[in-house]
Chains A and B, each alone.
Chain A
Amino acid sequence: MAAPRLTRRAFLRLMLLAGIGGGLAIAERQTRPVGLRTFLQWTLRGWRRRVEPPAVVALGASLSYDENLLRDALAELWAQADMPDVSGRRVLVKPNLIEWIEGRPLVTAPEVVGAVVDLLRSRGAEVVIGEGPGFRRDAGPVVAQSGLGAVLARRNVPFVDLNYDDPRPVPPRDGWFPGRSRLWLPRHVVEADLIVSVAKLKTHHWAGVTLSLKNLFGVVPGICYGWPKNMLHVNGITPSILGLKQTLPPVVSVIDGIIGMEGDGPLFGTPVPHGVLLVGRDPLAVDITGARLMGFEPEEIEHLSLGMWAGIGQGIRIETRGASMEALRRRYQPPPK
């Protein structure tokens, strides 16, 4: 019996199939360790953001830490930013309490945290404050020394040291923790209906800036991952920031830039009296706006540019409300390399 003859058409088909197969193999290799499927999901989601409605970020200007001024300003910004209804919801307020060094504006001002608590409670939320400092084995002294302890005591609101809060296994979502089948996260984080990341506007020597997304590192429990949380660095700072955002319950943002920090952040930078407060329900949009206020474009900050590309939030179409963005722009001194 004669061997089947390879026609020209069959040959071209074979070549086409080989080309597609080879292309897929190269793409799979190029997209390791996340894989082609996840890579395509991120890419398509990023494209989709171009046609989705803009994210709203509300900007307050000329602010101080005066309690009454803050209360009124925050209520107005909350309304301008179309923030979610919190009535009857369990809300975890996550300030930045990384460490306490006298004279350095490295933590979220307690007055801002107090104003957020008052606002959430006035709208019927059940509020808990939680933080797991990366550079303190015991959050208690940071809470006391920063003045937050007194603010919380006056309001009789509980503080949870997330480093020790009963850790629960959670599957990481969206492919940012490749090779990990679970993340241990504190009970109060896992059980929250909403997380309000109440961050500080400051520079960061590894991440460029630390705003409401980077602030999420503090929810990772020290008893599981150590002090500081080395697993997040092993996984990569950028994928860990984005992966936490995608794995946690919904996160909204408030950023305290009333006194920001420039230079050698997150610990040893210098104060910048800036007078701004940012509020928004999309942390990526809020952080991009915050970075721009500091004089950085999102393309200069790896986790912001990758977050825009992968569409982890609306980073392309941002509508600012309230104070004028241009009038508030500064040029923060970047962190050392």
Chain B
Amino acid sequence: MIRIVSAYRFLENAQNPDGGWGYRPGGRSTVEPTGAALLALADLPESPALAPARLWLERAQHPDGGWGIHLEDPESHWCTAWGVLALLRLDPVAPPALRGVRWLLQASAIRIQADELTAEVRRIFGIDPTLRGWPWRPGEASWVEPTALALLALHVASAAADHRDRIEEAIRYLVDRRCQGGGWNFGNPFMLGAYLPPRPHPTAWALLALQALAPDAIRPEDIEALRSEMHRDGGALALALGIMALQAFGVEDPIARERLEMLQQPDGSWEGNPYVTALALRALNGGWPWRRRG
């Protein structure tokens, strides 16, 4: 049986004095675990952890509106989506989050358009390289997870309708990168003659993003791929993300839930890791906090 209270307590106790969380208690405060912790702890509006966490995130934001991994990282990149999601979870109109949205919308990604290059990339990777999602770092190629996270951030910020072209291109990017048989690998679904297998983490993020913005693009085999890959992986992170994504479709997986519950440690955490604990808490206690808008 999951011990919800002790999990929340673990998160509160793992908060650093500066207000953020690392990937382990006492680890340097970092945007991704801090964002995930806020997604979980926002269930407790009275939690003393919320205000300092919000201040830390605001302090970590760069003047260009984006976020790096932590206070020392001067470059804005994929972590920006986490900054936006976390602040919007606390305040749906938080001005720093809206600056983050603007950064996401202007972030550049490689788009290959020369015919001869496009043909070669199609042969090697089996993808349409003219489509742009979001990269891990600006100016690089697009990948599934940062694309899905950026789409989720734009959806939560209600920015999707105003930037339809950019959103639709990113959705087409996700659809194009689907693995043979459903689900997603990290980027391309094919390489030099071999089909790449789906992986649970990018598949879960892609499904959450598509469920929010383009549910018609999802195929039943994507959901099956997630279900089988999260069980094959068996790690707490894969199970937490998988459960959360399945819940978004109204699908319950009691075995996955039981497996995740079994992985909870005596201190209330999963793997002693605030990031994994926060996502496990969300998976077992309410799911992804936002629902699709009409």
Contact = CB atoms under 8 A, between A and B. Distances in A.
Contact of A205 (B145, B191, B237): B191
B225 to A, nearest CB: 15
A264 B193 contact: yes
Contacts of A144: 234
B192 A226 contact: no
Interface residue tally of chain A, by bracket?
20 to 34
Interface residue tally of chain B, by bracket?
35 or more
Contacts of B30: 223
Contact of A231 (B78, B140, B146, B185): B140
A138 B194 contact: no
Contacts of A167: 69
B172 interface: no
Given A166-B22, A223-B30, A228-B186, A140 B271 contact: yes
B23 interface: yes
A94 to B, nearest CB: 19
A115 to B, nearest CB: 27
Contacts of B139: 234
A137 B201 contact: yes
B32 interface: yes
Given A230-B140, A264-B193, A140 B28 contact: no
B215 interface: no
B237 A230 contact: no
Contacts of B22: 166
Contact of B199 (A135, A166, A230): A135
Contact of B237 (A138, A169, A223, A264): A138
The B contact surface, by secondary structure, is loop
B27 A166 contact: yes
A336 interface: yes
Interface string B9-25: 00000000000001100
Contacts of A335: 192
A268 to B, nearest CB: 5
Contact of A227 (B27, B145, B193): B145
Contacts of B69: 167, 184, 223-224
B234 A264 contact: no
B79 to A, nearest CB: 8
Contacts of A264: 192-194
Interface string A314-325: 000000000000
A155 interface: no
Nearest to A335: B192
A268 B187 CA distance: 17
A144 B233 CA distance: 10
A110 to B, nearest CB: 18
A101 B140 contact: no
A44 B264 CA distance: 58
A296 to B, nearest CB: 18
B186 A227 contact: yes
A264 B23 CA distance: 35
Interface of B: 22-23, 27-28, 30, 32, 69, 72-73, 78, 135-137, 139-141, 143, 145-146, 185-187, 191-194, 197, 199, 201-202, 233-238, 271
7 contacts: A137-B237, A140-B236, A166-B22, A184-B73, A223-B30, A226-B145, A234-B141
Interface of A: 101, 135-138, 140-141, 144, 164, 166-167, 169, 184, 205, 223-228, 230-231, 234, 264, 267-268, 335-337
List 9 tightest A-B contacts by C-beta distance, closest first: A226-B136, A137-B201, A164-B23, A141-B235, A138-B235, A138-B237, A336-B192, A141-B233, A140-B235
Given A135-B185, A225-B136, 13 more contacts: A101-B197, A135-B186, A137-B237, A138-B237, A138-B238, A140-B236, A141-B234, A226-B136, A231-B136, A234-B139, A264-B194, A268-B194, A335-B192
